[in-house]
Amino acid sequence: MRVTPFVLPLAAQALVAPRPHMKRLSSQRPAAALEDYCPPLPEAFEAQAALTADGAAEAYKASLDDPSGFWASEADRYHWQTPFDRSNVYSANFKRSAGPIAARWFEDGATNIAYNCLDRQVEAGLGDKLCFIAERNDEGETSPLQPETYTYAEALEETKKLAAALRARGVKKGDRVALFMPMVPELAIAMLACARIGAVHTVVFGGFSRDSLASRIASAGATCVIAADGVRRGGKVIDLWGIAKDALASARDQGTPVAGGAVILRRLDDAAYPEPQLAADEAWWHNVVTSTDGSDVEWMAAEDPLFILYTSGSTGAPKGIVHATGGYMVGAGHSFRTVFDAPVRADDVWFCTADCGWITGHTYVAYGPLLNGATQIVFEGVPSWPDAGRLWRIVDQHKVTHLYTAPTAIRALMRSGDDPVTSTSRASLKLLGSVGEPINPEAWRWYREVVGDDRCPVADTWWQTETGVIQIAPTMASGAGPHKPGAAMTPVAGCVPALLDAATGAEIPAVIGEEAKGLLVLKQPWPSMARTCWGDHERFENTYFSYDGYYLTGDGARRDADGHYWITGRVDDVVVVSGHNIGTAEVESALVAHPAVAEAALVGVPHDVKGSALYAFVTLTQDAEGQAGDELAKELKLRARADVAAFASPDTFHWAPTGLPKTRSGKIMRRILRKIAAEGADVSGLGDTSTLADPGIVDELIASHAGAS
């Protein structure tokens, strides 16, 4: 056994190390049992790969030996209006004991990410290359007012016009703009237009409720809203502007003036969405996007904020995660190019199914692909509409080469069987990516063997809103050796993961041949890391830096004997449902706002399709005790939908007769609730319950399991 004192040699070795204990299996189906399944990289992929594993290992080593040199040369790919100080590429502090938590990259430099995404590409001769290809909700559907494709030159033109229109509404550098739109190219263009003039965008996913949108507008202090009239999603028309208009009014009631009013994209026609009356400070996108005059680039200091993205925490209101211009740009560009085997060749077509309302859509739709001059699909619909073959037909129609989607979509499509997949060609596909939650080996295998015909490798990519870009992922390059189904595998350049013992907080040394389990932390600053929580730096420090010297991810992980990382899920009170990060506290407060509810606690339970589902323990007020049942469950579900979002509505309500299990200090013991929710009346091994104030409550909860709604 070899003891490695520091994670670098181990992680670098893991990229290329032989794994003698692993069987090389035939990849023909039916293959060996799932637990033995660990196929080599497909030959077809290796034959055409742009990157090599040796190159990746060298880059990883360089990124740790000389972070300043490594990231300075990455930054040199872009235009800097004012050069950054090469003698001070970054400075950071991860120790609260040593002062405020901080990370600063590319000091003294001034740049603009939208300029680097668009102007720079057009100047380099990519003006006629396709940038966005819109794929609508219905097959063959076209938009009455928007083009179905944008070249890089066209995307630049529209971005400039919207930038000028925003300026005309008084939006200036540093102002916040809230975006509430469907997944159309114009959403990415709106983000780029904000970035062009130095406005800080905050995109709110179009599935959120009026109240969620209002609180984000108010929290960010947005001066303008960009919305769309509505969107067809599956068979429904969703009234986005109706929600945004009410949210705008509510934010104004809360004291946020939103002086710039609203710009609204007309997506639907009169039949689907009769033209609404607009107020004086509201205007249609197509009426204001008229001239590029006044669209000059605002040069931003590297540390100026680029965007705020709200993400759920375990307590309190959602956190506004702030990303900085220079570091995010350099990180996003590097990540897109290196994690997915450089999908930038002339015939490559990138397709990320994530919405720009999430970080995945920021980094792998709006920014990463454009920084690299890639062509991509922007999909407004859902994978199940009009049927389970939709994604594969999109792949064939547009000759998609790289597909990046979520385990929840893969599992849902898998349920419809192989036929919708095998009836399509998918010959263009080269690589498959997965993100958002752990992918179970069964889904991994189906993705590779059925969707990818065993020609395409699967990249399980782990990261977070806060990390900005992918941090742990298998090496997608020739010579990289097998990828383990269900493992995120190895750190990317600049990432130094470690595991802390949950009980002692001590770092568990990385030892080849030894397994370890613990809290996943990152040790070294990286350019695209979040800088703060909007307006609340203390919360940022408390949430992510409670262990001196480490960025705490909130996830648990296992490191196997080869040094490969397996993410085991959240260790805090966040539940990931269908790839959506839901703070249980937010939903709980929606439930307890109901007069019949005395107390509520939410936990996640394993779910075949969604990964996790929400399970609510609810104690009713004395007066309302008789109301436990399906009727009240329905009402509470509606409340969660209205207050938070449709995807935050609990699947199950467990009526807790006498209360919830609490420690003597009053903290709900969620560990116990999680077990009861998952295992029901047969639950055993509840562990140490000695700190419970009233242990009898646990027995009552187990006994009342059968009565859940």
- 81 to 100, contacts with ligand WT7 by CB under 6 A? none
Question: Tokens at residue 348, please?
Answer: 């490559």
Judged by CB under 6 A, the stretch of 89-97, 179-187, 205-213, 462-470 that binds ligand WT7 is 462-470
Q: Among residues 353 and 709, whose Cβ is nearest to ligand WT7? A: 353
Q: Does position 676 bind ligand WT7 by CB under 6 A?
A: no
- According to the binding rule CB under 6 A, does residue 389 interact with ligand WT7? no
Cβ 569 to ligand WT7 shortest distance, Å: 6
State in angstroms the smallest separation of the CB of 169 from ligand WT7. Answer: 31
C-alpha closest to that of 327 among 536, 554, 544, 67: 67
570 binds ligand WT7 (CB under 6 A): yes
| Cβ-Cβ contacts under 8 Å for 701 (sequence gap 6 or more) | 617, 654, 656, 660, 661, 673, 676
Report 3-32 residues binding ligand WT7 (CB under 6 A): none
Can residue 322 be called a binding residue for ligand WT7 (CB under 6 A)? no
Closest CA to 307 of 276, 290, 280, 328: 328
CA dihedral of 214, 218, 220, 223, whole degrees rounded to 10 = 100
- Pick from 313, 438, 604, 661: which binds ligand WT7 (CB under 6 A)? 438
Pick one of 90, 273, 462, 534: the residue that binds ligand WT7 (CB under 6 A): 462
The DSSP output letter for 3 is: B
Which of 415, 410, 408 minimizes the C-alpha distance to 582? 408
In the complex, minimum distance from the CB of residue 66 to ligand WT7, in angstroms, rounded to a whole number: 28
CA distances from 165 to 154, 160, 240, 392, 582 (A): 17, 9, 21, 38, 35
9: phi then psi, degrees, rounded to nearest 5: -60, -40
Of 213 and 406, the one with the shorter C-beta distance to ligand WT7 is 406
CB of residue 467 vs ligand WT7: minimum separation in angstroms? 8
Q: How far is the CB of 565 from ligand WT7 (least distance, A)?
A: 9
**Shorter beta-carbon distance to ligand WT7: residue 465 or 584:** 465
Near ligand WT7 by CB under 6 A: residue from 369, 554, 563, 604 = 554
- Contacts with ligand WT7 in 482-501 (CB under 6 A)? 488
Residue among 112, 202, 311, 478 that touches ligand WT7 (CB under 6 A): 311
**Which residue's CB is nearer to ligand WT7, number 563 or number 661?**
563
User: Minimum distance between the CB of residue 614 and ligand WT7, rounded to whole angstroms?
Assistant: 15
Site membership for ligand WT7, residue 440 (CB under 6 A): no
Q: Which of residues 327-386 bind ligand WT7 (CB under 6 A)?
A: 358-360
Are 383 and 351 a contacting pair, CB within 8 Å?
Answer: no
Does residue 242 contact residue 213 with C-beta atoms inside 8 Å?
Answer: no
Residue with Cβ nearer ligand WT7 (121 or 461): 461
Residues 653-672 that bind ligand WT7 (CB under 6 A): none
Q: Which amino acid is at 179?
A: L
- CB of 579 vs ligand WT7, minimal distance in Å: 6
Q: Which is nearer to ligand WT7, 177 or 473 (CB)?
A: 473
Catalytic positions, written as ranges: 572
Task: Rule CB under 6 A: say whether 461 interacts with ligand WT7.
Answer: yes
Residues in contact with ligand WT7, shown as a per-residue x/- string from 31 to 70 under the rule CB under 6 A: ----------------------------------------
Pick from 12, 13, 33: nearest CA to 23: 33
Please report, for residues 21, 175, 511, the alpha-carbon distance to residue 57 in angstroms, rounded to integers and kept in the order given: 22, 41, 19
Q: For residue 629, which of 654, 649, 602 has the smallest C-alpha distance?
A: 654
Q: Which residues, in sequence order, are CB contacts of 417 under 8 Å at separation 6+?
A: none
**CA 177 vs CA 129, 251, 258, 276: distances in Å:** 29, 13, 9, 22
Q: Are strands 532-533 and 551-559 parallel, antiparallel or unpaired?
A: unpaired
Residue with Cβ nearer ligand WT7 (285 or 358): 358
Q: Which is nearer to ligand WT7, 283 or 458 (CB)?
A: 458
Q: Cβ 245 to ligand WT7, closest distance in Å?
A: 27
573 touches ligand WT7 by CB under 6 A: no
User: Nearer Cβ to ligand WT7, position 553 or 619?
Assistant: 553
Percentages helix, strand, coil for the chain, rounded to the nearest 5? 35, 25, 45
- The span of 104-112, 291-299, 433-441, 663-671 binding ligand WT7 (CB under 6 A) equals 433-441
Give the interface segment with ligand WT7, choosing from 212-220, 374-382, 456-464, 536-544 (CB under 6 A).
456-464
Indicate whether 556 belongs to the interface with ligand WT7 (CB under 6 A): no
Quote the least distance from Cβ 682 to ligand WT7, whole Å. 28
Position among 178, 204, 365, 576 found at the interface with ligand WT7 (CB under 6 A):
576
Residue from 436, 556, 563, 661 touching ligand WT7 (CB under 6 A): that is 436
Closer CB to ligand WT7, 438 or 485, in the complex = 438
The CB-of-574 to ligand WT7 minimum distance in angstroms stands at 7
Q: Return the SS3 of 303.
A: coil
DSSP state letter for 572: S
The residue type at 210: R
In the numeric block, the tokens 């008229």 are attached to 290
Question: Using the rule CB under 6 A, which residue among 188, 435, 591, 677 binds ligand WT7?
Answer: 435
Binding residues for ligand WT7, rule CB under 6 A, total 22
Binding of ligand WT7 by 581 (CB under 6 A): yes
Neighbours of 87 (CB within 10 A): 7
Interface residues for ligand WT7 in 210-269 (CB under 6 A)? none
Q: Is 465 in the site for ligand WT7 (CB under 6 A)?
A: yes
Among 45, 115, 340, 463, binds ligand WT7 (CB under 6 A): 463
Out of 195, 567, 577, 632, the only residue in the binding site for ligand WT7 (CB under 6 A) is 567
DSSP per residue over 624-647, as a string? GGGGTTHHHHHHHHHHHHHHTBGG
User: Within a 13 Å sphere around the CA of 548, how many CA atoms are in the beta-carbon half?
Assistant: 7
Of 300 and 324, nearer to ligand WT7 (C-beta) is 324
Smallest gap from Cβ 150 to ligand WT7, in A, equals 25
- φ/ψ (deg, to 5) at 55: -60, -40
Per-residue b or e along 486-521, where b marks 16 or more CB atoms closer than 10 Å to that residue's CB: bbbbbbbbbbbbbbbeeeeeebbebbbeeebebbbb
Nearest to 76 by CA among 118, 109, 53, 124: 109
Radius of gyration of the chain (CA): 25
Nearer to ligand WT7, 84 or 364 (CB): 364
Buried b (16+ CB within 10 A) or exposed e, 538-555: ebbbebbbebeebbbbbb
Specify the residue, 219 or 335, whose C-beta has the smaller distance to ligand WT7. 335
The whole-angstrom separation of Cα 350 and Cα 345 is 10
In angstroms, give the least distance from the CB of 465 to ligand WT7.
3
Task: Tell me the closest approach of the beta carbon of residue 14 to ligand WT7, in angstroms.
Answer: 17
464 is a contact residue toward ligand WT7 (CB under 6 A): yes
Cα distance between residue 532 and residue 367, in whole Å? 20
d(CA 613, CA 635): 18
What would the two tokens of residue 462 be?
């782990």
Contact set with ligand WT7 (CB under 6 A): 311, 358-360, 435-438, 460-465, 488, 553-555, 567, 570, 576, 581
